[in-house]
Structure 1
Amino acid sequence: MARNIRNAHTTPAGTPTNVTQKHTKGGIGESTLRPDGTLKVTGEFAYASDLWHEDMLWGQTLRAPHAHARITALDVSEALAVPGVYAVLTHADLPAAKKYGLEIADQPVLCDGRVRFHGEPVALVAADHPETARRAAAKIRVEYEVLPPVTDEASATAPGAPVLHPDRDDHHAPHSPHPNIVHRQPVRRGDVAAARARADVIVREEYEVGIQDQAFLGPESGLAVPAEDGGMDLYVSTQWLHVDQKQVAPILGLPAGKVRLTLSGVGGAFGGREDLSMQAHACLLAQRTGKPVKMVYNRYESFFGHVHRHPAKLTYEHGATFDGKLTHVTARIVLDGGAYASSTPAVVGNAASLGLGPYACENVDIEAVGLYTNNPPCGAMRGFGAVQACFAYESQMDRLAAELGMDPVEFRQLNAMEQGTRMPTGQIVDSPAPVAELLRRVKAMPLPPERQWASTEGTDVRALPGGLSNTTHGEGVVRGIGYAVGIKNVGFSEGYDDYSTARVRLAVAGGEAVATVHTAMAEVGQGGVTVHAQIARTELGVTQVTIQPADTRVGNAGSTSASRQTYVTGGAVKHTCEAVRERVLELGRRKYGSYHPAWAHAELLLEGGKVVTEGGEVLAGLAELLEGEEPIDLELEWRHRPTEAFDRETGQGNGHVQYSFAAHRAVVEVDTELGLVKVIELAVAQDVGKALNPLSVAGQIQGGTTQGLGLAVMEEIVVDPVTAKVRNPSFTDYLIPTILDTPTIPVDVLELADPNAPYGLRGIGEAPTLSPTPAVVSAIRAATGRALRRVPVRPEHITG
């Protein structure tokens, strides 16, 4: 799928000039191989589900069959009587803290007597065999009083609506107009009323986005091992070791230092592993039994065991003049957070602050709210609030262009933001924002050739929409082309102290200088371990780099989310390597400075295992210099420039550290009679600032594009509107794109350095997930003439 990968290298004013060791093999800018790549494709990689301990028990969770209910009776005696069962735990058995949460501690570790979503954990079982644990869990007797569920904004905020969290106490609550509203964030700037009066064309529409699942292939899994010091060692697949530690320790009644976490092999994440799943449950069972406890979710349980992408209802109004300039944009974005808050406040902040899209407009009135309901809990997923907004504002831009009789790409370019544009939040974009250029590039990419369906003779029907089922021979197939562009923030925002820590050790081993890098970054498939080795080679001039397993023995690296790890933890590795390099040079000056005047120069480099001058003169070999000396070993924190909280009523504030941009062009073929869609190509152009590993960059862009495709035409968790129960918790009924659904994805990479970022890089992981969805839907609209205001698009939306 990696076709036509082109790189546009541009060096604008302000480009960082600190990348000096360009000739170190395997350094920054090279497509070095992933250390885990071969193991993964050959099936030899050890995932968390492969963990084993000779004395371990198996944990199992009993989950509620209702979305809203009271527990009136709970009897575990039959389960405890099953041979091989070591423990059964309920809410009453918890030793310490009984609630947890990423931002708001509102989620019970085990159901506290009131069920708030379908699949909520009620009880835990530990047994000597997984089947024994399952049979015992089935013998737990629970009686429920089923309550009417809260399912949408109307039922959540109606007079007399049941308050789902009456004891909620957090810093968001005072600003919420109703206790079932988790968070509200307006963004207001300019004079919308006056601008509306000047508009020649106004379009207003409602849009809807369904619940998307992260659908990672490796289920939630981990192994908790009681330690001799009374603490707990947890080996787990997660996105954020230290935040897991922070939440699990109070649940166990232990100090944080006695709960030690080590990252185990992660089979994908995309936000779904930021919240706790089985971590506390396995530790509680291990603490109660005194034995190691392993928990592995099956696919059915995984759908209930993690948060999903927020479904959204969005109402947008755009105005423009006849010459194509935006006059104003208003929006109301309602995000359903489900039963618990998770990261809903931050998702709301993103949706509001990025709700205009990558455009310049002086008059904006956007309000985003997040709800508590009895629907499945929602939280972080790749794109984090910006995905939902992008579908709506890009659909609006297509509608406006049509009303004005303008080319949709040219209309977008006319209104595109650029460096120096003021965001609706008042923040000035102070790094490159090549929105118009990305649109130009993606439009200029060659189109796939037209197909002729005049005859079925010689036609491979598998290339047709629905062709793998032999449903059509091309009778009603029409081609459509659509465009979209999106904006995503990078890193944690709104004043969060977003930092990372890295430990770097430089020593001599086998006559060669070897660097060791240790961080708590969760490698979830994004390739961070590869980039960290590249940074160490570049900054220290070594060939051999060892990456230590991620654990909590080193300082916090933050979450592998928000496109932040290469920026922030990569920045920490670079910063620490620079400090180690300075120690090396200090050592050289002390040892050899009196023999060679070049040691007095500040600009000395480490390259190819040697200390060299800028002119290439070799002053010493690294191994020779370090021989007989104590290893240089430093652990340092690194922070990007600070952000600030948005004003609660105006949304003004420098809330984001960096922005990233991507544009897509979709080419689809639609059987208009059957409502079937085949995406032929999804071309993408993205600015990455600096491609630290070009092959990994292309992979990230293509992966994000594929997830956006899934949301456009197939992926949705279906929730019964009456009972709030999940109807399709399996990969049989929840569909994700396979290799047969994924089109050619040509990638055009633009490198416009951000002067404020390490190496000028720009976080890339999330931006390519935004615009594929509206681009695909735009192309389907072009082929069918249908309005298509909801995703995923289903056959009945096309034919109905």
Structure 2
Amino acid sequence: MGTTGLPTNITQGSRTKGGIGESTLRPDGTLKVTGEFAYSSDMWHEDMLWGQILRSTVAHAEIVSIDTGEALATPGVYAVMTYDDLPTDVRNYGLEIQDTPVLAHGKVRHHGEPVAIVAADHPETARRAAAKIKVEYRELPVITDEASATAPDAILVHENRTDHHIGHVPHPNIVHRQPIIRGDVAKARERADVIVEGEYVFGMQDQAFLGPESGLAVPAEDGGVDLYVATQWLHSDLRQIAPVLGLPGDKVRMTLAGVGGAFGGREDLSMQIHACLLALRTGKPVKIVYNRFESFFGHVHRHPAKLHYEHGATKDGRLTHLKARIVLDGGAYASASPAVVGNASSLGAGPYVIDDVDIEAIALYTNNPPCGAMRGFGAVQACFAYEAQMDKLAARLGMDPVEFRRINAMSQGTALPTGQVVDSPAPVAELLRRVKAMPMPPEQQWLAAGEAADVRELPGGLSNTTHGEGVVRGVGYAVGIKNVGFSEGFDDYSTARVRMEVVGGEPVATVHTAMAEVGQGGITVHAQIARTELGVTQVTINPADTRVGSAGSTSASRQTYVTGGAVKNACELVREKVLELGRRKFGTYHPAWATAELLLESGKVVTDAGEVLADLVDVLGDEAVEVEEEWRHRPTEPFDLRTGQGFGHVQYSFAAHRAVVEVDTELGLVKVVELACAQDVGKALNPLSVLGQIQGGTTQGLGIAVMEEIIVDPKTAKVRNPSFTDYLIPTILDTPTIPVDVLELADEHAPYGLRGIGEAPTLSSTPAVLAAIRAATGLELNRTPVRPEHLTGTA
């Protein structure tokens, strides 16, 4: 399954046991691997009802009528609600643009859109009652691509747009447009000795998290509701839910339930409002759990994209210019499309020095499934295209593809096409050097000597489709750049509440944030920070809920940076209060306290200094010290809507991959043998978690390269493969060895010098695999994922 040992070059340990720099085990790890962890779908409440959603069977249609009579008459049914039953005039929601109806009104805009909701005393009763609701549709033509979306006579997906993007887009069916213009591409083109162009197609992916959407809404005596839910951002959910319910924010109390993965798919609402509506209507707790089929319709996906790239270079391998156009399909509702456009455009040149750039990125409104956040967030699609271009240029110039990239690699001090100067380490050339220098996996014996092969090691694996005939090995490289944190002037902050007190004769720290733990290990890191900053051994992490200030979304590789920064800041303030308390109690001449004070002030409290912890007990006594503090990273600014100039991103992360693949050129089957990665993480707060993040992101990139795609019928806009039977994701048998080389080059602007790491490996792993397949087959392969028919000429 890949490398299991830690990279030897990661800084190990801290002077506080279980503090930053140590591979502290996750408290939820054993429960998860043994199947004992309680996820949101496992929740139960006495007298609980079950909710069910009726979804549209067509992608674009007028709703002529809805008849709920038979459903309401079903024994065991407590409520059936449609758009007309909603309690307030606020009936839409959305992350940025409130264009998504809670329940369809007047028309449906995509396959699987919620039309009605049912509450019943048994899940099967709810399902059967929903099936009895009669909806008459009058189908409309579907908008499925740029041509149909922007034609002069195109039907508008949203007839009465009023959002703030409408003023700068050339057509109402374009959600957002962002150009990035720097220098003079026309003049730079004249200096190029070689020019290459490419048209690239990037398929739609699903986040494929293991735990389907689920939650439990419990009506409260004060007229409010308590919602226990799997999500990525509690306070964003609250902001969208409360107005629809007609309740003040303090009467919608949200608690994070166990989350079975997210990857962006839980940033948008799914069942949250529906469960609350049914709970308030019936006066009973209501639980909603999607099945896997429904989950494919119940959350946004990764934007499919069409990308046109033109690069030029001189004979000595220097890039002269870039002209690119990126078209993202946002589907029926906006979700995070504007921000994805900003990322795709501003990062569309990749980690290279290019002085003359003209990039345009747009997102479309169509009748395809809504698309929004997914790991990599616009940068993945761009990386696939610009890395293919780098290989094309290197081939035209007769240069080694890694050396060509290194010649053009950006570094600290490089000005990006947005005009922003990168003011932290950007070791792109070094990452490429390191990943190329890593030992190559050995040639298979049967490849070298023509011997019989173990079918488990062959493309196709246990399907026993080949015994090595026509199998060719290829090697490919790629590198990518990803922003960290929210961008473009967003007020990106997080809140942490830290309390220090004596419990059972021992000093204990309690950390409370609203951070969504979605599997990334944030709760472990928060405990490590508290141990390091406060010198205590015992740290309690309170459940995440809306009783503490917002922690922002668990996305954009931001949580360790921003919420970790908030925990660190709050701990420092608690420490100052404890010091002041000690000074008041002991004075400045107490020798033992003087030792503790010195260690605390320097942040070097050590576990073998027992007298220090004893002093803390004496100082605190029956008192407790508590601080709730917000923490913000330095501000960013919106990109200029005409030129794309601006300090748009607070931090950048970089990863490079080398892929080794074996391809059966006769059958079109691919086996990825190895995906080696080199990545700069700034500071590895938990080396074991760092390794897991890099290997997990790499594996997800592998899935994008050769397996994962939601197939949407271009004529009907219906999803054709909403199941894990037909939507394939990598299994343990598909996952290659993933050796990792980690750099720790501190970013002076970040807490502990850390750098967000979770998304960068998802970028470069995909184009590295494609490059290796190209090297093995000689085919151009400008589409992902690669299917067997693309390799055998039968597509």
Give the structure-2-normalised TM-score.
0.97
Map 1:255-266 → 2, pairs under 5 A:
255-266=248-259
Q: Could you tell me which residue of structure 2 aligns to residue 323 of structure 1?
A: 316
Distance 2:488 2:314 in 1: 34
> In terms of mean alpha carbon deviation, does 624-633 or 490-499 score higher?
624-633
* Structure 1 residue 254 corresponds to structure 2 residue 242: no
Distance 2:589 2:604 in 1: 17
Distance 2:612 2:473 in 1: 64
* Structure 1 residue 744 corresponds to structure 2 residue 745: no
Distance 2:612 2:314 in 1: 66
Q: Could you tell me which residue of structure 1 aligns to residue 17 of structure 2?
A: 25
Q: Secondary structure at the match of 2:388?
A: helix
Q: Secondary structure at the match of 1:604?
A: helix
Distance 1:9 1:546 in 2: 27
How far has the Cα of 1:625 moved from its partner?
2.9
RMSD (Å) for aligned C-alpha atoms: 1.9
Aligned length: 790
The counterpart of 1:362, out of the listed 346, 355, 378, is 355
How far has the Cα of 1:496 moved from its partner?
0.2
Q: Could you tell me which residue of structure 1 aligns to residue 683 of structure 2?
A: 690
Map 1:286-685 → 2, pairs under 5 A:
286-453=279-446, 459-596=453-590, 604-606=598-600, 621-685=614-678
Q: Deviations over 1:265-286 (max 9, x none)?
A: 0000000000000000000000
* Structure 1 residue 38 corresponds to structure 2 residue 30: yes
The counterpart of 1:281, out of the listed 264, 274, 278, is 274
* Structure 1 residue 768 corresponds to structure 2 residue 769: no
Distance 1:272 1:144 in 2: 29
Q: Could you tell me which residue of structure 2 aligns to residue 133 of structure 1?
A: 126
CA 1:458 to 1:206, structure 2 compared with 1: closer, same or farther past 3 Å? Answer: closer
Q: Deviations over 1:537-594 (max 9, x none)?
A: 0000000000000000000000000000000000000000000000111111111224
Q: Secondary structure at the match of 1:621?
A: helix
Q: Could you tell me which residue of structure 1 aligns to residue 3 of structure 2?
A: 2
The answer to whether the Cα contact below 8 Å between 1:508 and 1:626 also exists between their aligned partners in 2 is no
Q: Could you tell me which residue of structure 2 aligns to residue 14 of structure 1?
A: none
Distance 1:359 1:167 in 2: 41
CA 1:625 to 1:172, structure 2 compared with 1: closer, same or farther past 3 Å? Answer: farther
Distance 1:145 1:9 in 2: 61
* Structure 1 residue 143 corresponds to structure 2 residue 141: no
The answer to whether the Cα contact below 8 Å between 2:476 and 2:660 also exists between their aligned partners in 1 is yes
How far has the Cα of 1:5 moved from its partner?
4.0
Code of the aligned partner of 2:143 = V
Q: Deviations over 1:189-230 (max 9, x none)?
A: 011111000000000110010001000010000000000000
Distance 1:323 1:779 in 2: 24
Distance 2:277 2:601 in 1: 50
Q: Deviations over 1:503-538 (max 9, x none)?
A: 000000111000000000000000000000000000
Q: Could you tell me which residue of structure 2 aligns to residue 119 of structure 1?
A: 112
Code of the aligned partner of 2:492 = D
Q: Could you tell me which residue of structure 2 aligns to residue 89 of structure 1?
A: 81
Distance 1:589 1:81 in 2: 72
Q: Could you tell me which residue of structure 2 aligns to residue 708 of structure 1?
A: 701
CA 1:198 to 1:26, structure 2 compared with 1: closer, same or farther past 3 Å? Answer: same
Code of the aligned partner of 1:575 = N
The answer to whether the Cα contact below 8 Å between 1:7 and 1:750 also exists between their aligned partners in 2 is no
Q: Could you tell me which residue of structure 1 aligns to residue 180 of structure 2?
A: 187
CA 1:612 to 1:304, structure 2 compared with 1: closer, same or farther past 3 Å? Answer: closer
How far has the Cα of 1:166 moved from its partner?
1.7
Q: Secondary structure at the match of 2:600?
A: strand
Distance 2:548 2:610 in 1: 37
Gap regions ≥5 residues in structure 2: none
Q: Could you tell me which residue of structure 1 aligns to residue 53 of structure 2?
A: 61
Runs of 4+ in 1 over 4 A off after TM superposition: 454-458, 597-603, 607-613, 615-620
Distance 1:599 1:508 in 2: 17
The answer to whether the Cα contact below 8 Å between 1:542 and 1:607 also exists between their aligned partners in 2 is no
CA 1:48 to 1:456, structure 2 compared with 1: closer, same or farther past 3 Å? Answer: farther
* Structure 1 residue 213 corresponds to structure 2 residue 206: yes
Q: Deviations over 1:606-629 (max 9, x none)?
A: 39999789x989667344333434
Q: Deviations over 1:463-500 (max 9, x none)?
A: 10013111111100000000000000000000000000
Distance 1:666 1:139 in 2: 52
The answer to whether the Cα contact below 8 Å between 1:5 and 1:746 also exists between their aligned partners in 2 is no
The answer to whether the Cα contact below 8 Å between 1:541 and 1:607 also exists between their aligned partners in 2 is no
How far has the Cα of 1:597 moved from its partner?
7.4
Q: Secondary structure at the match of 1:79?
A: helix
The answer to whether the Cα contact below 8 Å between 1:610 and 1:621 also exists between their aligned partners in 2 is no
Q: Could you tell me which residue of structure 2 aligns to residue 171 of structure 1?
A: 164
Code of the aligned partner of 2:457 = A
Q: Could you tell me which residue of structure 2 aligns to residue 16 of structure 1?
A: none
CA 1:159 to 1:610, structure 2 compared with 1: closer, same or farther past 3 Å? Answer: closer
How far has the Cα of 1:595 moved from its partner?
2.8
Distance 2:380 2:392 in 1: 19
Q: Could you tell me which residue of structure 2 aligns to residue 233 of structure 1?
A: 226
Code of the aligned partner of 2:408 = N
How far has the Cα of 1:600 moved from its partner?
7.8
**Percent identical across equivalent pairs?**
79
Distance 1:593 1:605 in 2: 16
Q: Could you tell me which residue of structure 2 aligns to residue 15 of structure 1?
A: none
The answer to whether the Cα contact below 8 Å between 1:239 and 1:561 also exists between their aligned partners in 2 is yes
Distance 1:580 1:734 in 2: 50
Distance 1:160 1:4 in 2: 60
How far has the Cα of 1:235 moved from its partner?
0.2
The answer to whether the Cα contact below 8 Å between 1:531 and 1:570 also exists between their aligned partners in 2 is yes
The answer to whether the Cα contact below 8 Å between 2:474 and 2:660 also exists between their aligned partners in 1 is yes
CA 1:117 to 1:622, structure 2 compared with 1: closer, same or farther past 3 Å? Answer: farther
Code of the aligned partner of 1:534 = Q
Code of the aligned partner of 1:69 = A
The answer to whether the Cα contact below 8 Å between 1:506 and 1:632 also exists between their aligned partners in 2 is yes
Distance 2:681 2:103 in 1: 43
Code of the aligned partner of 1:524 = V
The answer to whether the Cα contact below 8 Å between 1:485 and 1:664 also exists between their aligned partners in 2 is yes
Gap regions ≥5 residues in structure 1: 11-18
The answer to whether the Cα contact below 8 Å between 2:532 and 2:603 also exists between their aligned partners in 1 is no
The answer to whether the Cα contact below 8 Å between 2:71 and 2:80 also exists between their aligned partners in 1 is yes
The answer to whether the Cα contact below 8 Å between 1:611 and 1:621 also exists between their aligned partners in 2 is no
Code of the aligned partner of 1:221 = S
The answer to whether the Cα contact below 8 Å between 2:15 and 2:606 also exists between their aligned partners in 1 is no
The answer to whether the Cα contact below 8 Å between 1:357 and 1:486 also exists between their aligned partners in 2 is yes
Distance 1:728 1:84 in 2: 33
How far has the Cα of 1:70 moved from its partner?
0.6
The answer to whether the Cα contact below 8 Å between 2:15 and 2:604 also exists between their aligned partners in 1 is no
Distance 2:604 2:365 in 1: 59
Code of the aligned partner of 1:136 = A
Code of the aligned partner of 1:124 = I
Code of the aligned partner of 2:587 = G
* Structure 1 residue 721 corresponds to structure 2 residue 714: yes
Distance 1:408 1:484 in 2: 9
CA 1:76 to 1:319, structure 2 compared with 1: closer, same or farther past 3 Å? Answer: same
